[in-house]
Amino acid sequence: MSKTTWNPRYSDFLSLGVLLLLAVVVLLPLFVVFFTSFQPPGGTPKVSSTNGWYLANYGDAWERGKFLLAFANSSLVALAVTALQIVTSALAGYALARLKFRGRQALLLIVIATLVIPFQLLVIPIFLVLKWGHLINTYGALILPTAVNGFGIFLLRQYFQTIPVELEEAAAMDGATRLQILWQIMLPLARPALVTLFLFTFIGEWNDLFKPLVFTTRPELRTVQLALAEFQEQFTNNWPLMMAAVTIATVPVMVLFLIGQRQFIQGIAATGIKS
């Protein structure tokens, strides 16, 4: 038997070069932000570490920006919204994927239609509803408006349809209810979709500036992005300090994405019908 060998072609080198160029274009701003954050403020050649990097920028940015409270608020809001979206998306997605009822397709079309409606167009009615419910300047104003998301519903609905119906039929014959089937069978098999929804929702809420800016005015409800915007107004000319603040606000979601990416691959490998 003849062994097949890989012969690199000109198109392969061209594709590799294009990919490397795109990677540099995407990563270059991150490297600029990261290395600028270690420069001494005002161009003063002051070194506070053995490797020649000025580390004091991060301590100054953390204290002056009051990021401890902002991190706590953003974490609370992001986790709460993510948990609510996973619950609502799982219930609605399963209903649209498996239950037979009148108007199911019309409801699905409405869910898909919500994907093209910007949140900014709904801010006035949402604000009025929150004001009527006395939720302005509360955590509810930051959590409830995005507790349900059409993307999550559609994502889980599509993934549930890829799971064999025979698994549910076997569980139903053993006396399992719909909720038991969803919790014990469908959700464990839908782990890749759940991880994807978790990452999209958490990162989106962490980076959200619009809701805290419109629905809150109390300083104790400041989120990371709102604190970062206020920090930028105060230290416009201090680029190293600003870049340190940007790095502080960015690192948590980058770490979460890397962890979630590995879990996503593991979830795909573990998905399927097991004997």
Q: Domain residues of the chain, as ranges?
A: 57-270
User: What pLDDT, on a 0 to 100 scale, did the predictor assign at position 94?
Assistant: 93
What pLDDT, on the 0 to 100 scale, is given for residue 148? Answer: 93
Contacts by 122-127 with C-beta closer than 8 Å and gap 24+?
A: 123/210, 123/214, 127/214, 127/215
What's the pLDDT score for residue 80?
96
CA distance 20 to 128: 49
CA torsion, ordered 62, 65, 67, 73, to nearest 10 deg? 180
Q: What pLDDT, on the 0 to 100 scale, is given for residue 202?
A: 93
Q: Which fold has domain 57-270?
A: MetI-like fold (1.10.3720)
Judge whether 195 and 261 are in contact, CB under 8 Å: no
pLDDT averaged over the chain?
84
The pair of structure tokens assigned to 268 is 């795909």
Q: What pLDDT is attached to residue 71?
A: 94
Tokens representing 57 are 């920028």
State the Cα–Cα distance between residues 240 and 92, nearest whole angstrom. 47
As to burial, measured by CB atoms within 10 angstroms (0-12 exposed, 13-18 middle, 19+ buried), residue 77 is buried
Token pair 């974490």 in the structure block, residue:
75
- What is the reported pLDDT for 42? 60
Q: Which residues of the chain have pLDDT under 50?
A: 1, 44-50, 267-275
- pLDDT tens digits along 80-99: 999 999 999 999 999 999 88
Task: Supply the pLDDT for residue 275.
Answer: 34
Q: What is the pLDDT of residue 271?
A: 38
